[in-house]
Structure 1
């Protein structure tokens, strides 16, 4: 059975932050310092080349905790953060740098590598969810959401496609090539972010991935700007989205 082992704990500004491991998977769990005995859980996937404590992850987690009362969990993806890189990881990262230096499109390398990472990361996320739901403050029947952009979408779409415990998701900023088929299996509410002037992901590609989701309730947020210029207010929109779809389903402990 998968078990959460907490290794460190700090509290500030109403947020409890706990480092944990599930087997060899390192992660962070942010939680409200006060509030109901039970609260929904949001799983959050980080972007490529970053890690569980990247400023964007910490900032979004704090917004979700203080603005929605959620627990938020992030784990390092394979080859990221505190995870060692394999020879395959090194080869793909080198290929990305070569394409970037040559002024060639990065998409083909990123899509291929992210698909490989998703094959490794999806079982890890499911094991982590199993372990987190044993905690009394989360529970085995509590609502669960997923929030991940860029590589977080590449991992999140195949995860959500096969994980029935996740009932709402925020995705965005990725190509449809390896994800459209999985997106067609997703019927839960989805919010999707894209940059209209993205220099890496053509707007037609972003629209194609959004269109692929089979969800009856899905919302497209298209903002002017380049790939790294996603407005910070989209994080606040994600909080409102999860409040709308997760908080109404909170169940009291038996």
Structure 2
């Protein structure tokens, strides 16, 4: 097992929130898990967007719903240069410069392996069942989540991904992209996929999002398109995402 350190636990009704840090290959991976009372529940991996972190409001809101209403755990980690892994003094978008310095492909690989390491620890501690996994992530969460989904193989029961595609606007540095990894990952995802598209997305044009959708190997894939720009998320969007995850995890 990778070295793990519990950083805190909070019990709120039937939900236990556990903060922990996994030591992997010389660096720390800060993580948080929301657990229901059920033994070894299925788990949703949550991926945050750019400039976000593992405890963003959406993660907390979704995790509490999944744990309390569906008996499903949720697990999130901080991406490189985000949250507890951010560099002191950095502005919100400085992570982009740091990713360029390290190399996008390297960061994609690190995020994939960090996520799998945190999942493995949670399984080994009997907190979750790593054989029943879903993934939910938008924007950067989808970018880094695709290689995670591919690496999970048959353990992945479904994925909700969105606000991301194979083309991006000039507002995003080209140095963030690793499209060879993304296309390979998408072509190796056979689990059901719901892809959410913002029709007027100013960061990821919808044509590139459609191109990504075509690559998924799954025969059970759904494209959900809504009007609006990149940042817009409606309440019924979240409801659709969680219902899709719940239905697919329950059926496995």
- For residue 25 of structure 1, what is the aligned residue in structure 2? 29
Distance 1:113 1:64, change over 3 A: farther
2:134 to 145, 160, 174: 145
Distance in structure 1 (CA, Å) of the matches to 2:4 and 2:247: 28
Distance in structure 2 (CA, Å) of the matches to 1:74 and 1:217: 25
Distance in structure 2 (CA, Å) of the matches to 1:134 and 1:160: 20
1:224 to 222, 227, 233: 227
1:239 to 233, 237, 242: 242
- Matched position secondary structure for 2:84: coil
Aligned-pair CA distance for 1:115: 4.6
Asked which structure has the greater RCO (Cα within 8 Å, sep 6+), the reply is: 1
**Is the aligned partner of 1:197 residue 2:200?**
yes
Matching of residues 2-21 of structure 1 within 5 Å: 2-21=2-21
Instruction: Spell out, residue by residue over 1:185-244, the C-alpha distance to the aligned partner (whole angstroms, 9 max, x if none).
Output: 111110111101112211111111111111100011111111111222222222211222
Aligned-pair CA distance for 1:126: 1.4
- Matched position secondary structure for 1:62: helix
What residue ranges of structure 2 are gaps of 5+ in the alignment? 168-178
- For residue 252 of structure 1, what is the aligned residue in structure 2? none
- For residue 83 of structure 1, what is the aligned residue in structure 2? 85
Instruction: Spell out, residue by residue over 1:24-67, the C-alpha distance to the aligned partner (whole angstroms, 9 max, x if none).
Output: 111110112x3x32310111111111101111221222222223
Aligned-pair CA distance for 1:175: 2.1
TM-score normalised per structure 1: 0.82
Q: Is the 8 A contact 1:114 1:154 kept in 2?
A: no
- For residue 114 of structure 2, what is the aligned residue in structure 1? 124
Distance in structure 1 (CA, Å) of the matches to 2:53 and 2:103: 16
Q: Is the 8 A contact 2:165 2:210 kept in 1?
A: no
CA RMSD of superposed structures (Å): 2.6
Residues paired across the two proteins, number: 231
